[in-house]
Amino acid sequence: MRVEELFEHLWQGYIKLAPAAKDIHTLLQSTQATPIINDHIALRTLAHPRCNISVISQVFLALGYERKEYYHFESKKLDAYYFQHPNETYPKVFISEVKIDELDFETQNTLTSLAESIPEEVLDSKLLVSSGRHWDVSYEVYTKLYAQSEYAAWFYLYGYCANHFTIFINALEKFDTIIEVNNLVKESGYTLNSAGGEIKGSADVLLEQSSTTAQVIEVKFNEGTYKIPSCFYEFAKRYKDENGNLYQGFVAKSADLIFNSTNHLS
Ligand code: NI
């Protein structure tokens, strides 16, 4: 499988969960001749030996990606790495995992049983990262998980899929600033995640990011259908470091705020 094919699988799964992302993509693509470039995508998983970051990243490593920096999110109990390909037009891949051991006993049991229920052939498949979830969902279990970890609850519903794609603003032909992109998105009727301000980061930390709030979709539970946030779209503008190289990493404080894009709106 080629890198392009893998991302096409991920994109198709993603726009099924967040059709608004396809509309925003179409809107921005209509302003330029060259294809829009993705800065990164994000994947979520469990820190369990069957499906942790090491397992999930195999398909990317086999395609020439390299593991880069480590990030830790204390309050959300997450670890993360990003992966980058030598071909800089390929998206970086930000993979996080929730540390099951640090959650309460009942949550540990729930998440461990999810990890154990992923079929072996799926774990061995090149399409693991776009394989969705491999279990039925209960609204009661979902709300219990949500109380302990929004991240774990999201994973319970959607499993393996891109949590978000991210438009690389630097490569847009008609937009220079993140404010211009944010304004277009808002004028088109979408809501931005405003936790900590619409723009996370700054030129000083070499990365500015914003994101839509996750699209609310109907999810079928054993108990019935409920409306739940799914996936969101992100926008990133990068700046050059003191050596003149475009910064490629992430900013932990900003990423922490971006994770909140899948929270229920209160
Ligand atoms: Ni992101």
pLDDT tens for each residue of 94-133: 999 999 999 999 999 999 999 999 999 999 999 999 999 9
Tokens encoding 60: 């990317």
42 Cα: distance to centroid of ligand 1 (angstroms): 6
To the nearest 10 degrees (0 to 180), the angle between helices 3-17 and 19-29 is: 120
CA distance 79 to 221: 29
Tokens encoding 168: 């690389």
Mean pLDDT of the chain: 96
Contact 232, 262 (CB under 8 A): yes
164 Cα: distance to centroid of ligand 1 (angstroms): 7
Q: Is the pLDDT of residue 266 over 50?
A: no
What residue type is 65 in one-letter code? Y
H helix runs in 126-247, sequence order: 139-148, 150-158, 178-187
4 Cα: distance to centroid of ligand 1 (angstroms): 19
83 Cα: distance to centroid of ligand 1 (angstroms): 13
Tokens encoding 157: 């519903």
241 Cα: distance to centroid of ligand 1 (angstroms): 20
237 Cα: distance to centroid of ligand 1 (angstroms): 12
Can you give the pLDDT at residue 265? Answer: 58
Q: Which residues contact 133 (CB under 8 A, 6 or more apart)?
A: 156, 157, 158, 159, 160
256 Cα: distance to centroid of ligand 1 (angstroms): 10
Distinct helix (H) and strand (E) counts, the chain: 10, 10
Tokens encoding 29: 């693509």
224 Cα: distance to centroid of ligand 1 (angstroms): 31
Q: Is the pLDDT of residue 168 over 70?
A: yes
CA distance 94 to 78: 12
For residue 200, list its beta bridge partners.
209
211 Cα: distance to centroid of ligand 1 (angstroms): 8
222 Cα: distance to centroid of ligand 1 (angstroms): 31
Contact 193, 200 (CB under 8 A): no
H helix runs in 49-138, sequence order: 53-56, 58-62, 105-117, 120-123
Contact 93, 41 (CB under 8 A): yes
- Largest CA-CA distance found in the chain, in angstroms, rounded: 57
Can you give the pLDDT at residue 186? Answer: 97
Residue-wise pLDDT for 49-99, tens only, equals: 999 999 999 999 999 999 999 999 999 999 999 999 999 999 999 999 999
